[in-house]
Amino acid sequence: MPAVVIIGGQWGDEGKGRVVDFHARYCSMIARYSAGTNAGHTIMNEHGKFALHLVPAGIFYGDKVCVIGNGVVIDPDILLSEIEMLSSRGIDTSKLIISDRAHVIMPWHRVIDVADEKLRGSSAIGTTGTGTGPAFHDKVARIGIRVGDVLDSERFPDQLQKVLDYKNRVISGLYGELELQYDAIFAEYSAFGEKLRPYVTDTTSIAQDAHQRGEMILLEGAQGSLLDLDSGTYPFVTSSVPASVAAGGAVGIGIGPTAIERVVGVYKAYQTRVGNGPMPTELFDEDGALLLEGGGGAPGTSEYGTTTGRARRTGWFDGVLARYTSKLNGVTSVALTRLDSLSAFDRIRICVAYELDKERVTSLPASLEDSSRLKPIYEDLPGWKQDVSEVRHLDDLPANARQYVRRIEQLLDAPIDMISVGPERHQAIVTRDIFGGNI
């Protein structure tokens, strides 16, 4: 059976968690394959509302193997808190497994994340400050510490000493921050290691064996394709290696790319972004403010970050960027989220092209930063001004809402199979179940 990847088609926060939650029922294994604590999923189900950063959203099924793959960087403190929170709320975490090859976020990573942003001044990226970026830097610099290293009592003391000596020179010399103390870090991380030990294993072999047995594996992307290091709005991107795009899924769990047969692209019905960087369709007016507060959609749909609580920047759907990421990921099925959040608008705009130096372009320029040279070209569609949160069939959507959905589908050049109309698990229109055929 093939593996399926679920990716965000914009700048993250598209609502991937609920789409994973929906498709997870067909899979025996659900895996996170990239990013770290910077990622955030909000999931609402019969157990309540949950904000997860590291544990795969499939954990709520209880019978699925949930993998934190080799491509993820792990803050053990946050992971352990998440496991404890889930257990205390009655969620079984015994099927969680953690790759011994995943890299660990160390205390210096958080210090450097914040200090680096200060140094960047007006060019700051607006990182989550979770240490995720610096942990990936160390992975690429080949001085990262992996989960398996922390559990290895022979190797860890010496490795920690060497890396810490180097990092303290950077922390004090470059950033003027206080040096970190070996003993405290060693004690803290050794304790984390012991608590995580029951979950840590060679997840690569387990995933390969599951694939060999023909089991369905769901690869859960983090962030969005426009934040991808190679393909996103560089340098205002995240640092995940392997990539946040679908192609990274195979690498981040250790299976071959031929295993991936389906790619579900999750797109919000409008655009949001947290952190800095270009966003051509950003709104600075009352329409933007309305989107921030949920756009007249179902309660609990305002746009504040799961990880940092920051207000998200809001804007109209950008069809140029969306088409780009649809092709980039080889999207075979689309989940369109938060359609209900457009219910308050008389007129809804979709960006269908850009004007760049007076030329109309529909492909993505390498740099979007100079907003004086680049303007979105909009198509205006009539709003539906009606609550859609109880709609469960496409035909029951107001005609204007169907027109909006169809236009987005054309721009993405991929079928929209699921539309979310509210935050609850059941508040969705499913037009085609990608595993089960038409419903």
DSSP 91-110: ---TTEEEETTSEE--HHHH
Among 10, 34, 38, 314, binds ligand IMP (CB under 6 A): 38
Binders of ligand IMP among 375-434, rule CB under 6 A? Answer: none
What H or E segment, with its residue span, contains residue 271? strand 271-273
- Note the helical H segments in 89-216: 107-120, 132-140, 147-150, 156-173, 182-196, 203-212
Establish if 132 lies at the interface with ligand IMP (CB under 6 A): yes
Among 275, 295, 319, 376, binds ligand IMP (CB under 6 A): 275
Query: Minimum distance from CB of 35 to ligand IMP (Å)?
Result: 7
Query: Minimum distance from CB of 13 to ligand IMP (Å)?
Result: 5
CB closer to ligand IMP out of 75 and 417: 75
CB closer to ligand IMP out of 105 and 147: 105
In the residue annotation, 21 being an active-site residue is answered as: no
Establish if 12 lies at the interface with ligand IMP (CB under 6 A): yes
Establish if 231 lies at the interface with ligand IMP (CB under 6 A): no
Query: Minimum distance from CB of 105 to ligand IMP (Å)?
Result: 11
Establish if 37 lies at the interface with ligand IMP (CB under 6 A): no
232 three-class SS: coil
CB closer to ligand IMP out of 4 and 274: 274
Query: Minimum distance from CB of 321 to ligand IMP (Å)?
Result: 15
Instruction: Find the part of the chain contacting ligand IMP (CB under 6 A) among 9-17, 161-169, 187-195, 334-342.
Output: 9-17
In the residue annotation, 77 being an active-site residue is answered as: no
Instruction: Find the part of the chain contacting ligand IMP (CB under 6 A) among 23-31, 130-138, 321-329, 393-401.
Output: 130-138
Q: How far is Cα 15 from Cα 17, in angstroms, rounded to an integer? A: 5
Q: Is the dihedral of CA 206, 208, 214, 216 positive or negative?
A: positive
Please, are residues 203 and 211 in contact by the beta-carbon 8 Å criterion?
Answer: no
Long-range contacts of the stretch 48-55 (C-beta < 8 A, 24+): 48/89, 50/85, 50/86, 50/89, 51/306, 52/17, 52/82, 53/78, 53/82, 53/306, 53/307, 54/78, 54/79, 54/82, 55/79, 55/82, 55/83, 55/86, 55/93, 55/96
Q: How far is Cα 71 from Cα 147, in angstroms, rounded to an integer? A: 12
What H or E segment, with its residue span, contains residue 290? helix 286-292
| CA terminus-to-terminus distance, the chain | 21
What H or E segment, with its residue span, contains residue 80? helix 76-88
- Beta strand residue intervals within 206-256, DSSP E: 217-224
User: For ligand IMP, how many residues bind (rule: CB under 6 A)?
Assistant: 21
Query: Minimum distance from CB of 265 to ligand IMP (Å)?
Result: 16
C-alpha distances out from residue 191 to 111, 150, 196, 424, Å: 21, 10, 9, 37
Establish if 238 lies at the interface with ligand IMP (CB under 6 A): yes
Among 25, 42, 80, 126, binds ligand IMP (CB under 6 A): 126
Establish if 274 lies at the interface with ligand IMP (CB under 6 A): yes
CB closer to ligand IMP out of 78 and 405: 78
Establish if 332 lies at the interface with ligand IMP (CB under 6 A): no
Establish if 335 lies at the interface with ligand IMP (CB under 6 A): no
Q: How far is Cα 138 from Cα 116, in angstroms, rounded to an integer? A: 14
Among 56, 76, 133, 144, binds ligand IMP (CB under 6 A): 133
Establish if 128 lies at the interface with ligand IMP (CB under 6 A): yes
Establish if 239 lies at the interface with ligand IMP (CB under 6 A): yes
Establish if 296 lies at the interface with ligand IMP (CB under 6 A): no
Q: Is the dihedral of CA 148, 153, 159, 165 positive or negative?
A: positive
Instruction: Find the part of the chain contacting ligand IMP (CB under 6 A) among 123-131, 209-217, 262-270, 331-339.
Output: 123-131
1 three-class SS: coil
Instruction: Find the part of the chain contacting ligand IMP (CB under 6 A) among 59-67, 78-86, 194-202, 236-244.
Output: 236-244
Please, are residues 125 and 276 in contact by the beta-carbon 8 Å criterion?
Answer: yes
Instruction: Find the part of the chain contacting ligand IMP (CB under 6 A) among 35-43, 80-88, 250-258, 422-430.
Output: 35-43
Contacting residues for 230 by C-beta, under 8 A, at least 6 apart: 243, 245
* Total residue count of the chain as it appears in this document: 439
Instruction: Find the part of the chain contacting ligand IMP (CB under 6 A) among 7-15, 258-266, 343-351, 398-406.
Output: 7-15
Query: What is the contact surface with ligand IMP in residues (CB under 6 A)?
Result: 11-13, 38-40, 125-128, 130, 132-133, 223, 227, 236, 238-239, 274-275, 307
Q: Among all residues, which ones are annotated catalytic?
A: 13, 41
